[in-house]
Amino acid sequence: MKVDGKHYRSIWLDADGWSVCAIDQRRLPHEFVLAKITTCEEAADAIRNMLVRGAPLIGATAAFGMALAMRDDRSDPGIDRAYDMLIATRPTAINLKWALDTMSAMLRRLAPSERRDAAYARAVDIAGEDVTINQGIAAHGLALIEAAAAQKKPGEVVNVLTHCNAGWLATVDWGTATAPIYLAHDRGIPIHVWVDETRPRNQGASLTAWELGHHGVSHTVIPDNTGGHLMQHGMVDLAIVGTDRVAANGDVCNKIGTYLKALAAHDNGVPFYVALPSPTIDFAVADGRQIPIEQRSAQEVTEMTGRTADGRIETVRVVPPGSPVANYGFDVTPARLVSGLITERGVLQADGAALLAAFPERAKQT
Ligand code: MRU
């Protein structure tokens, strides 16, 4: 997607042919800063510290991390070390494990002398495949937005609610939940997005709003608790969110608060869709209760960072000292609350049979 007229992906191989560039997402929306990743350790740090985040981008970064590791040590123990370091960074997004399994299985089939170049080629492919997948999600999700637009009177807009950032910054390009939104906007469908701010890290307010603004998509940032009210008043036509892991039965794990939006949508008859690329399906977990939920630092809740009127970036404390804090990063929305799964192979029912029929090769990899 474009930033000030220039096309960017969220991660790419540098022109030097070996180091990796990424947008430092911790600095947005205040500053647009590029970061250079030159070792597997730096790739692991980038994922752990959320310089990069979002399930598909975590996977792509891990793939590049494996390639960087192969510059230093192409032995079998070298593959193991890189795998162990990268897999330990974040627990919930399954794209991380998918990318590492894909890379390590491919590398183990090769002689050590072939591994570095093959690792780079596969990492670049994984990044490219993510973009193609998201374009597929865009095409299938567009039909849902077109159907909502067909119900509108002239001059009315389609109102979509989204949570967290499942935009191009969370993927390599296009996004998952945002892909149909960008395509609808580009096709001239009048569309407006309600953007949940998504405390505590504010991925909605900081990242989704920034992305949509740069693409010229009409949007409004709302405090996290607003969606139910909007749905009660007919102000949301459909919700589209992303996901970090979909269980074999269609349960959906996504950023904390997604479940409450799905409940409100169900109560108000608002269609609730989840957009996902196939590497986000985890056929190894039977249902959402088995998905590990990341707990992050209390600091993310007790502090907020922003830009002051005179341009300084400042962090302030918003919780009384001494008050205990809980910071669960994700929750699980049961499949029964999901109207459909928007995938690169079509919009599926949120159930195990539909997932298996659409992605039998993913089930076999498990
Ligand atoms: O903690 P984050 O910012 O990595 O969480 C991201 C999300 O929950 C996204 O909604 C999800 O990864 C889908 S991204 C296409």
DSSP codes joined into one string, 284-336? TSSSGGGSPPPB--THHHHEEEEE-TTS-EEEEE-S-TT-----B-EEEE-GG
Radius of gyration of the chain (CA): 20
For a ligand 1 pocket test, name from 1, 89, 182, 243 the mutation site with the most ligand atoms within 8 angstroms of its C-beta.
Answer: 243
Top mutation candidate among 57, 244, 281, 327 for ligand 1, by most atoms within 8 Å of CB: 244
List the residue whose alpha carbon is closest to atom 5 of ligand 1.
Answer: 54
Q: How many CA atoms lie within 13 A of 71 on its CB side?
A: 13
Is 254 annotated among the ligand-binding residues?
yes
* Residues in contact with ligand 1 (CB, 6 Å cut-off): 53-56, 93, 164, 166, 170-171, 176, 203, 242-244, 254-255, 329
- Are the C-beta atoms of 356 and 348 separated by less than 8 Å? no
54 marked among binding-site residues: yes
Strands of the sheet with 252-255, listed across from one edge: 281-282, 245-247, 252-255, 330-333
Q: How much distance in Å is there from the Cα of 270 to the middle of ligand 1?
A: 22
Say whether the ipTM exceeds 0.85. yes
The neighbouring-strand residues paired with 35 are 22
Q: What per-residue confidence (pLDDT) applies to 363?
A: 87
Spatial distance between the Cα atoms of 163 and 185, rounded to a whole number of angstroms: 19
Q: Which residues pair with 241 in a beta bridge?
A: 274
User: Which letter, b or e, does each residue of 41-73 get, where b requires 16 or more Cβ atoms within 10 Å of its Cβ?
Assistant: bbbbebbeebbbbbbbbbbbbbbbbbbbbbbeb
Which atom in ligand 1 lies closest to the alpha carbon of residue 330? 8
Say which residue the tokens 């986000």 belong to: 280
Could you tell me what percentage of the chain is helix, strand and coil, using 3-state DSSP and rounding each to the nearest 5? 45, 20, 35
Atom nearest to 58 CA in ligand 1: 4
Distance 105 CA to ligand 1 centre (A): 26
Query: Which residue spans within 157-300 are E strands per DSSP?
Result: 158-162, 191-196, 218-222, 238-241, 245-247, 252-255, 272-275, 281-282
Instruction: Write out the chain's pLDDT in tens, 366 residues.
Output: 999 999 999 999 999 999 999 999 999 999 999 999 999 999 999 999 999 999 999 999 999 999 999 999 999 999 999 999 999 999 999 999 999 999 999 999 999 999 999 999 999 999 999 999 999 999 999 999 999 999 999 999 999 999 999 999 999 999 999 999 999 999 999 999 999 999 999 999 999 999 999 999 999 999 999 999 999 999 999 999 999 999 999 999 999 999 999 999 999 999 999 999 999 999 999 999 999 999 999 999 999 999 999 999 999 999 999 999 999 999 999 999 999 999 999 999 999 999 999 999 988 887
Give the list of residues 6+ apart from residue 341 with CB closer than 8 angstroms, or none: 246, 250, 252, 273, 274, 275, 276, 347, 348, 349, 350, 354, 355
Tell how far the Cα of 56 is from the centroid of ligand 1, in angstroms. Answer: 8
Question: Choosing from 224, 237, 244, 331, which is the catalytic residue?
Answer: 244
Instruction: Tokens 């998918």: give the residue.
Output: 98
Residue 186 known to be catalytic = no
Instruction: Please state the atom number of ligand 1 nearest to the C-alpha of residue 163.
Output: 10
The pLDDT, as a whole number, for residue 365 is 80
Cβ-Cβ contacts under 8 Å for 360 (sequence gap 6 or more): none
Atom of ligand 1 nearest to the CA of 276: 15
Alpha carbon of residue 155 to chain centroid: 32
Q: What is the pLDDT of residue 74?
A: 98
105 is in an annotated binding site: no
Alpha carbon of 150 to ligand 1 centroid (Å): 30
Query: So what's the pLDDT on residue 366?
Result: 78
- Indicate the Cα dihedral angle 148, 245, 357, 167, nearest 10°: 40
Instruction: Give me the pLDDT at residue 200, please.
Output: 98
Residue 342 carries which side chain, given as an amino acid letter?
I
Check residue 194 and give its pLDDT. 99
Q: How far is the CA of 169 from the centre of ligand 1 (A)?
A: 10
53 is in an annotated binding site: yes
Q: What pLDDT is recorded for position 364?
A: 85
